[in-house]
Amino acid sequence: MKLFSFVSAVCLPVLLFLSAPVFAQDAPNTPPAQDAPERRVIPPLTLEERIVDLIEAIQDEAPETYRRMADLPREEALARVMRALDSGAVLVSGIGKNGKTDAAVQDAEVKNYPALMLTGKKFLYLRFDGLTALTVPEAVKALDERGGNADASGVIFDLRNAIYGDYGFEESLAESARKLKCPVMVLISGKTKGAGELLAAVLRRDCGAVLIGTETAGSVFPVKRITVNDVAWFVPNPPARYSGISPYALKPDLEKTSEARLDYDRLKESPDKLDGDPVLRLAADLLTMKAAVKPVEPSRSPAQ
């Protein structure tokens, strides 16, 4: 699709995009010096010029985002381009009082939960409040130990509170999970965002994981700051290796609405008592049923 034909398709959503203050941050105005020479008034950019400049900047600095935009059929562009760009704004709004973003936190701020074996030591349970250098290595080791066990009954990733973390760690977890010979369950909620949300999407795509819980936050990919015509834009910047993953919120395969989550120390003391956590209970029950159902070998017809 040529650039100008693409512009005509996305003119309206980008106009809305330009007018939304939550997505753009004007550069600070610097008062001219008193002795500055009189400057010629430059006519303001036309809407089409602003759109072209923005799209060209995205093409140069976020090529995967541009590719996704350009691949959209014209009839879908008006409806979907805005949503694709919109997905990055969630992370921008996650800037806290200390100036840190959800995707860039210190390891000390995220508690590490060692892997547990639940329900008669049948299921491996991994809980994450964030994907960091503190939390991921032990989980990878537990997955690798489990991966070669053909009798393993299942693995549960609890990402319901995976708010923090750094992009990149999701791939090492996914790489170990791909070696598993057992079913995978992933617990999600509206607090699942960023790297944790991307991990859930990758596990569903590559491991056939079943997602249980409620819809995620909708901030799957990192964002990139692009400055165009003195305006800063925050644009989703998906890595090319995740080209098949949508930037939108993940919907669960099995919806289970419940805010209850067992305290980790209590779960560690009583790994067979899951009734206080309906979402975790459902995941364990599904794994139990899967383990009970054995594939039936086709019967051979009698020799003639």
Give residue limits of the domains in the chain: 1-25+48-86, 107-224+243-292
Dump pLDDT digits (tens) for 187-231.
Answer: 999 999 999 999 999 999 999 999 999 999 988 988 888 887 777
Q: Give dist(CA 12, CA 137) in Å, integer.
A: 46
Cα atoms in the 13 Å half-sphere on the side-chain side of 273: 10
The CATH number for 107-224+243-292, chosen from 3.40.50.2000, 3.40.50.300, 3.30.70.60, 3.90.226.10, is 3.90.226.10
Q: pLDDT at position 140, please? A: 94
pLDDT of residue 127: 97
Cα–Cα–Cα angle for 127, 220, 86, rounded to 5 degrees: 145
Q: Are 185 and 200 in contact (CB under 8 A)?
A: no
Whether pLDDT at 23 is above 80: no
Q: Judge if pTM exceeds 0.85.
A: no
**Structure tokens belonging to residue 275:** 């009734």
Q: Is 130 helix (H, G, I), strand (E, B) or coil?
A: strand
Give the per-residue pLDDT at 98. Answer: 37
What pLDDT does residue 294 have? 60
Residue-level pLDDT at 77 = 56
- Mean of the per-residue pLDDT values of the chain: 75
Residue with tokens 């491991």: 207
pLDDT of residue 227: 81
DSSP secondary structure letter of residue 242:
G
Tens-digit pLDDT profile for residues 59-117: 888 888 778 777 767 666 555 555 544 544 333 333 333 334 444 444 447 889 999 99
Do the Cβ atoms of 165 and 132 come closer than 8 Å?
Answer: yes
Whether the predicted pLDDT of 25 surpasses 50: no
Neighbours of 207 (CB within 10 A): 19
Give the model confidence (pLDDT) of 228-287 as tens digits: 777 777 777 888 888 788 888 999 999 999 889 999 999 999 999 998 999 999 999 999
